[in-house]
Structure 1
Amino acid sequence: MAMTSISGKTSLDWEGIALALSPVGLIEEPVLVKKRSRDFFWYSPILDRKLKGCFGDLVAQPATVAELRHCLSVAAAHRIPLTVRGGGTGNYGQSVPLEGGLILETTRLNRVIEIGPDFVRVEAGCNILALNDALKARGRELPVFPSTQDIATIGGFISGGSAGIGTVSHGMLRDAGNILEIRVLSVEPEPREEVFRGDAINLIHHAWGINGVITELTLRTVPTEDWIGCIVTFDSYPDCHGAAINLATSETIRRKLCSTLDARIGTYFDRLKGIVPPDRAMLVTLIPRGQMDDFRALVAAHGGSLDLAMDEAERIARKLPHVFEFSYNHTTLQALKSDRKVTYLQILFPAPVNVAKVVELRAVLGEDVFMHHEFARMGGKVVSFDLPLVKYTTDERLYEIMSIYEAHGCPASDPHSCIIEEGGMKKADYRHLAWKKRLDPLGLLNSPKSREWARVRDMTPEAIEALHQP
């Protein structure tokens, strides 16, 4: 049994805690505990410096909700800092324990409980690929899922994600109807269940696991399609972007993905060499087989070349990745495999999306910025998120690039901070913190990830909610 703190940040009796957690499965080997203390924060050189020395002390792997309740009860009794972890695919250190303590790994809570005609009930630790496979057998699929579906868990995606494959057609996760119900447990000697539905789902969704432990989700499903993974190339990035705008806003062509990538990004894609010509901007998309003729016409109208069009059987036969593994932050991962000096940013191009804004920014951004846009629907309007690859030199240069985008009307979300109010939110969501006070009154759940928690933790939930400004 672990007698001393692996993290060096706690002075608890870890042998006694391990005994108290029985019969829950545990990971105690320091090397393995340290591996479970990491996510993909190393995409950021800033977070890599800050978080690479942060570790938990013990990993619990509850296999049932009853075992999870037991873990939370023990944590409350011993005042143990808690970090909830799924597949560990977050980019901002969401599942990194800043105070040491107990890591709750949810991957054994993986049951698909019920598949209905247009919904699915599932435990939070279910792998998303396994979930989509179960749905496909019933002719359904998730409307939105991450490019990391092979590893990610559905609870982790709902806790830390906001968009993904499908957002271009089905909106953000937070948009009405995508998440139907979230069930969570409190961290108390006698953990309580709370159920969130309707607009209330956003009191828990995208809160980074700071204000309750998700146990079960009910999600909308949509009919599955015979998707054809396509990569189209263009002479210029503005031409590529114009085609993507027409695809993303089309009322006739359905699409599951709409991504554009600067030609220079293609040099990182070893798996596409000999398939996609070099030095050409890329449009990456998923199109239903029955609409490929319409899509080919759109491509031709914009002067593009359809260089790859494959269904799932062909993809497997050719041993190629899904095309969505060249989108979202999988793009960053592909680049980092060969160049560890690359990092990324997160920029919103608000509606109405247009090629002129791309041309305007390309004229003022340096040669160290490679544009990469993901088209999405937000509040019913088509927007795009630029996740540019950046040749990292200094922290100051990263923030200078962000300021250039902002000066041109494109808000930046800081992916180089592990503090929730410094990232995409930009300000505290006091509704999240009010529910943290209700469901985590001892402040054990990932508390250092919120800058504002230390200021409001002694307030009542009602007083915290009163601070909220839409």
Structure 2
Amino acid sequence: MSETSIFSEFERELGKKVSFDKEQIAKYSVAPYVVSPILSKLSKGILGIVNVFDEDDLRITLQLAYKHNIPLVLRGRGTSTIGQVIPLKPSIIVDISNFSNTLTIDKDYVTVYPGNKVIDVLKYLRKRGKTLKVYPSSLYISTIGGYISGGDVGIGSFQFGYHFHAGIRYLKVLSSDGKTIEVRGIDTLGFAQAAGTNGAITEAEISIMNEDDWKDQLVSSDNLIEILETIKILPREKVRRVTIEDSRALSLVGRLEGLRKWNLIVSSTLKVGNEINAKFLDELAFAAAYVTFSKISNFKNFFYEVRLLSLEEFYDVVSEIKKSLGDEVMIHGDVMTLRGKIIIYTVFMSEKSNFRLIEDVMRRKGIPFEIHSIYINDRVDEPERLELMKKYKRLLDPKDILNPGKLRLDT
């Protein structure tokens, strides 16, 4: 069957929910967040767009794509910074941002749908004295479905680590041919962070907690060791969020004056520093940091890299890089607790030409230095979760129609 005939079948079944208009395709070819310039070049193009509003729309789309072997890429608001919505084969984009339903909660969980906006979920919960245990820095525009299937860390990761370890109780998932399965317990980890490569999530139950009165506080020092020692003694149950900024980064985005070389922003119910109005914090969390600084820094050729570093690695690497580059490099670090260990999500931002030096420091310290990989395999740091992803890929998408090429089954 010709491509024209296939597209006509999509239009016949889905009506105005499907578009092959060039202007619409151009709109969906641009992501609102910064994506690695290397990954951006990998895109193979968009064939068309399907806007799904409910499970029936999504099932029809999947069945048509399965019938004609048309690749699909599910997309929320496109806030991924590491290429999850970049098609590696010419694909139809399935926009799930309008796939929403009424939220419900019990004591410990909220039931959500892929198109529910994260900010709307948070507003709903806060009216009831609750909040998500972990949520993304892109909360104002991202969808909860995109975060579940594409995200990992976020606000709250100092307490709970990855969002999926904070708790997913239940997922309802459609296979590439439109069949429904229900997943509970540990098997839900096979879909979190899988970027929709092994199934389309249509409903989820994720964990919540009581919302406390967190105060944003600033601790400053010219001594980086003092900052890192402070982090070691912070009690996780009383601290929601911890961020390290060098003076240039914080003065630029926070418009604060008189800062010392290193600054620790702590959101806590305890008194740990000087209370500040840190509304700008959401502009700095995790991936939001390099998105924000790409817009406001005066670097002529802005570039960034990210590494997960232990406290000791952070001190060694950052000290040497700062010694060489000073304020020519900005350092941002979100502090997380992953599997019981303190890890800093460290962002280096500078002129692209300076990354030769930064790369050299990393290699001499024994820390691999490479741009984000397009492959899910290279981002999943728990073999058991990766094997679950592969298991469900083989079971639910044997023709590799869903976000094809990004989950390797051979490694």
TM-score in same-fold range (> 0.5):
yes
Partner of 1:264: 248
Q: Kindly indicate whether residue 112 of structure 2 is the aligned counterpart of residue 122 of structure 1.
A: yes
Q: Closer, same or farther in 2 for the Cα pair 1:228/1:17, shift >3 Å?
A: farther
Stretches of structure 1 that go unaligned for 5 or more consecutive residues are: 1-9, 297-305, 311-320, 457-466
Correspondence list, 1:387-398, <5 A? 387-393=347-353, 397=355
**C-alpha separation in 2, matches of 1:410 and 1:223:** 38
**C-alpha separation in 2, matches of 1:344 and 1:44:** 9
Judge which range, 321-330 or 78-87, deviates more. Answer: 321-330
**C-alpha separation in 1, matches of 2:129 and 2:382:** 40
**C-alpha separation in 2, matches of 1:123 and 1:416:** 29
Match for residue 242 of structure 1 among 205, 209, 229:
229
Match for residue 209 of structure 1 among 196, 199, 210:
196
**C-alpha separation in 1, matches of 2:375 and 2:32:** 15
**C-alpha separation in 2, matches of 1:345 and 1:71:** 37
Aligned-partner SS, 2:233: helix
**C-alpha separation in 2, matches of 1:159 and 1:340:** 34
Aligned-partner SS, 2:78: coil
Report how far residue 134 of structure 1 moved.
0.5
Partner of 1:364: 320
**C-alpha separation in 2, matches of 1:182 and 1:408:** 41
Report how far residue 421 of structure 1 moved.
2.9
Partner of 2:28: 36
Partner of 1:221: 208
Correspondence list, 1:19-58, <5 A? 19-23=11-15, 25-39=17-31, 42-51=34-43, 54-58=44-48
Preserved contact between residue 143 and residue 221 of structure 1 (Cα < 8 Å): yes
Structure showing greater relative contact order (alpha-carbon pairs closer than 8 Å, 6 or more residues apart): 2
Partner of 1:182: 171
Q: Closer, same or farther in 2 for the Cα pair 1:417/1:126, shift >3 Å?
A: same
Report how far residue 278 of structure 1 moved.
5.1
Report how far residue 14 of structure 1 moved.
5.6
Preserved contact between residue 314 and residue 344 of structure 2 (Cα < 8 Å): no
Q: Kindly indicate whether residue 74 of structure 2 is the aligned counterpart of residue 84 of structure 1.
A: yes
Q: Closer, same or farther in 2 for the Cα pair 1:131/1:449, shift >3 Å?
A: same
Q: Deviations over 1:126-183 (max 9, x none)?
A: 11000010011111100000110011111111111111100101222232x5111122
Report how far residue 363 of structure 1 moved.
4.2
Q: Closer, same or farther in 2 for the Cα pair 1:410/1:371, shift >3 Å?
A: farther
**C-alpha separation in 1, matches of 2:183 and 2:115:** 18
Report how far residue 11 of structure 1 moved.
4.4
Q: Kindly indicate whether residue 264 of structure 2 is the aligned counterpart of residue 283 of structure 1.
A: yes
Match for residue 446 of structure 1 among 389, 403, 406:
403
Q: Closer, same or farther in 2 for the Cα pair 1:340/1:127, shift >3 Å?
A: farther
Q: Closer, same or farther in 2 for the Cα pair 1:309/1:22, shift >3 Å?
A: closer
**C-alpha separation in 2, matches of 1:30 and 1:279:** 51
Report how far residue 40 of structure 1 moved.
5.5
Judge which range, 377-386 or 95-104, deviates more. Answer: 377-386
Report how far residue 62 of structure 1 moved.
1.1
Report how far residue 88 of structure 1 moved.
0.7
Partner of 2:146: 156
Match for residue 347 of structure 1 among 307, 312, 323:
307
**C-alpha separation in 1, matches of 2:238 and 2:175:** 41
Aligned-partner SS, 1:388: strand
Report how far residue 73 of structure 1 moved.
1.0
Report how far residue 79 of structure 1 moved.
1.4
Partner of 2:239: 255
Preserved contact between residue 181 and residue 198 of structure 1 (Cα < 8 Å): yes
Structure 2 counterpart of 1:72, which letter? L
Q: Closer, same or farther in 2 for the Cα pair 1:229/1:17, shift >3 Å?
A: farther
- Percent of counterpart pairs with the same letter? 22
Preserved contact between residue 116 and residue 143 of structure 2 (Cα < 8 Å): yes
Report how far residue 264 of structure 1 moved.
2.7
**C-alpha separation in 2, matches of 1:245 and 1:276:** 27
> What's the TM-score, normalizing by structure 1?
0.77
Match for residue 308 of structure 1 among 276, 279, 296:
276
Report how far residue 425 of structure 1 moved.
4.8
Partner of 1:146: 136
Q: Give the CA RMSD over aligned residues.
A: 2.8
Judge which range, 104-113 or 32-41, deviates more. Answer: 32-41
Report how far residue 123 of structure 1 moved.
0.5
Preserved contact between residue 62 and residue 105 of structure 1 (Cα < 8 Å): yes
Correspondence list, 1:84-103, <5 A? 84-103=74-93
Aligned-partner SS, 1:371: strand
Structure 1 counterpart of 2:393, which letter? K
Stretches of structure 2 that go unaligned for 5 or more consecutive residues are: none
**C-alpha separation in 1, matches of 2:404 and 2:113:** 24
Aligned-partner SS, 1:447: coil
Preserved contact between residue 264 and residue 279 of structure 1 (Cα < 8 Å): no
Preserved contact between residue 83 and residue 374 of structure 2 (Cα < 8 Å): yes
**C-alpha separation in 1, matches of 2:361 and 2:80:** 26
Structure 2 counterpart of 1:65, which letter? E
Structure 2 counterpart of 1:375, which letter? V
Match for residue 329 of structure 1 among 287, 292, 305:
287
Match for residue 195 of structure 1 among 162, 182, 200:
182
**C-alpha separation in 1, matches of 2:365 and 2:18:** 51
Structure 2 counterpart of 1:442, which letter? K
Preserved contact between residue 268 and residue 334 of structure 1 (Cα < 8 Å): no
Report how far residue 448 of structure 1 moved.
2.1
**C-alpha separation in 2, matches of 1:388 and 1:284:** 18
